[in-house]
């Protein structure tokens, strides 16, 4: 079922007889539980046309590194195999969407977009719309409830978005039937990038951040579902109790797959809900409320990637304490190379640099300490975001921007005032030692 509010007409136009319906896949890099793909199939069948799916591979995407591209290409291999087995054309085309999609649109009856929320992707779509003549439809598939259905404005916190979400959520917790295409797609001779081998495909790319990381996961829907099954069987029952303990591995590891659209949040939510597990409620709070709060933030707040995104109370208190003396002060290079006095912070930074994914609780501690150890809160914000985007496999997305902003007071409340932090929530190493066997986390990384 595709709710009508997932569908937005971005451009009206005559349904001229083209060679195909074009689905520009960008955010939802999957075949299963993909509302945009299902809508494209529906329209192609209604027009008695084949469906061509195009993915635009931008090889100089800001802050993306080698590991990010490799993970993405692994996922696109899954997509290509599945779509071609179903008779749906799929091409990975190297270049800017603003050049590629208008060219493909010349032979299209209509275009279907999936939806993303960050500034660059939104500008891509706006530019493409201005350059094409055929009708354009946007289908929202990477959320459980469409962003503007939940709220028409930026929400202050989880406490304000939660009741709005809970009132309408049951209507959207429904499965999505996969349709079959009626007309197989012929070879249109587009000469797309050969992605049979991710390493070979990457040789054609110009990647500025050539960073080799020991990524523990492989991209793609099959691997995402394997991780999810493992989480449900072995971790979900204790997720509520142990998810914040970095000395234990009770995380779902879904964030990289959600970042690249390899798996649907709706599919995950339905699988978790069906278990009736003790940890289901805590997990769904993270997946639905917290994740959609982060998407609400980047969609409605144009300053989501800088210090100005913070609430006024946080900016004021941090600026008031900007010149407080720092016991320790580190440069960007010191922090990047994990050269601080704090073994817990160094372990967290090392985990992120080496493996592309830091434990969620440690990421909060990590961000707080950057605020404490740099010359100004504005500089601290920039450093935290730069490191997070450069190394995290799930960086450069709504959750990443929100996670960094939270360390500086976003979606939080004022606490007791102290040096440097002002009224922003404080975290320290004593809390880590008190709550966890934090040394075992350090020993596993340093």
Structural fold of domain 307-443: DNA Cyclobutane Dipyrimidine Photolyase, subunit A; domain 3 (1.10.579)
Q: Dihedral, CA atoms, 365, 370, 373, 376, nearest 10 degrees? A: -140
Q: So where are the chain's domains? A: 1-142, 143-177+221-300, 307-443
Q: What is the pLDDT of residue 66?
A: 93
Alpha carbon of 284 to those of 4, 165, 170, 247: distances in Å? 24, 12, 13, 23
Q: Do residues 329 and 424 make contact, with C-beta atoms less than 8 angstroms apart? A: no
Please tell me the distance from the alpha carbon of residue 274 to that of residue 72, in angstroms, as a whole number: 29
Q: Do residues 41 and 78 make contact, with C-beta atoms less than 8 angstroms apart? A: no
The answer, as to whether pTM is greater than 0.85, is: yes
Q: What is the pLDDT of residue 269?
A: 98
Q: Do residues 11 and 42 make contact, with C-beta atoms less than 8 angstroms apart? A: no
CB atoms within 10 A of CB 181: 20
Question: What homologous superfamily is domain 1-142 in, according to CATH?
Answer: HUPs (3.40.50.620)
Q: What is the pLDDT of residue 210?
A: 87
Considering the domain 143-177+221-300 in this protein, what is its CATH number?
A: 1.25.40.80
The dihedral through the CA atoms of 42, 48, 51, 52 has a sign that is negative
Q: What is the pLDDT of residue 352?
A: 97
Token digits of residue 213: 């990381």
Please tell me the distance from the alpha carbon of residue 256 to that of residue 400, in angstroms, as a whole number: 11
Q: What is the pLDDT of residue 203?
A: 84
Q: Do residues 18 and 108 make contact, with C-beta atoms less than 8 angstroms apart? A: yes
**Below-70 pLDDT ranges, the chain:** 15
Alpha carbon of 313 to those of 349, 376, 410, 421, 424: distances in Å? 29, 17, 10, 12, 9
Q: Do residues 293 and 153 make contact, with C-beta atoms less than 8 angstroms apart? A: no
Query: Within its chain, how far is the Cα of 6 from the centroid?
Result: 19
């Amino acid at each position: 079922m595709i709710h009508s509010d997932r569908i937005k007409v971005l451009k009206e136009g005559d349904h001229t007889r083209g060679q195909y319906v074009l689905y520009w896949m960008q955010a939802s890099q999957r075949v299963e539980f993909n509302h945009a793909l299902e809508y494209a199939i529906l329209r192609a069948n209604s027009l008695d046309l084949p469906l061509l799916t195009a993915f635009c591979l931008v090889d100089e995407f800001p802050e993306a590194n080698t590991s990010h591209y490799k993970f993405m290409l692994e996922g696109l291999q899954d997509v290509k195999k599945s779509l071609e087995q179903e008779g749906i054309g799929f091409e990975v085309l190297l270049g800017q969407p603003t050049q590629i999609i208008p060219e493909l649109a010349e032979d299209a009856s209509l275009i279907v977009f999936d939806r993303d929320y960050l500034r660059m992707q939104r500008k891509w779509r706006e530019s493409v719309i201005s350059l094409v003549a055929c009708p354009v439809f946007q289908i929202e598939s990477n959320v459980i409830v469409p962003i503007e259905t939940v709220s028409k404005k930026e929400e202050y916190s989880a406490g304000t978005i939660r009741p709005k979400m809970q009132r309408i959520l049951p209507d959207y917790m429904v499965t999505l039937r996969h349709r079959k295409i009626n007309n197989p797609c012929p070879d249109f001779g587009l000469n797309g990038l050969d992605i049979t081998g991710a390493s070979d495909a990457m040789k054609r790319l110009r990647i500025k951040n050539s960073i080799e990381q020991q990524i523990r996961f492989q991209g793609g829907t099959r691997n995402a579902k394997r991780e999810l099954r493992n989480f449900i069987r072995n971790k979900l029952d204790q997720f509520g109790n142990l998810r914040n303990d970095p000395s234990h591995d009770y995380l779902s590891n879904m964030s990289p797959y959600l970042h690249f659209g390899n798996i649907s949040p709706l599919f995950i939510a339905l699988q978790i809900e069906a278990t009736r597990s003790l940890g289901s409620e805590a997990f769904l709070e993270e997946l639905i409320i917290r994740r959609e709060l982060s998407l609400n933030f980047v969609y409605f707040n144009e300053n989501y990637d800088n210090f100005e995104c913070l609430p006024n109370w946080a900016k004021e208190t941090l600026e008031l304490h900007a010149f407080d003396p720092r016991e320790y002060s580190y440069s960007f290079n010191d922090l990047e190379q994990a050269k601080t006095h704090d073994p817990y912070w160094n372990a967290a930074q090392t985990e992120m640099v080496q493996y592309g994914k830091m434990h969620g609780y440690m990421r909060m501690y990590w961000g707080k300490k950057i605020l404490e150890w740099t010359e100004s809160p504005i500089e601290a914000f920039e450093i935290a975001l730069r490191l997070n985007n450069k190394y995290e496999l799930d960086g450069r997305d709504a959750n990443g921007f929100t996670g960094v902003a939270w360390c500086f007071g976003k979606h939080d409340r004022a606490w007791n005032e102290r040096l440097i932090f002002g009224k922003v929530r404080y975290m320290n190493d004593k809390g880590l030692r008190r709550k966890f066997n934090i040394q075992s986390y350090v020993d596993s990384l340093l």
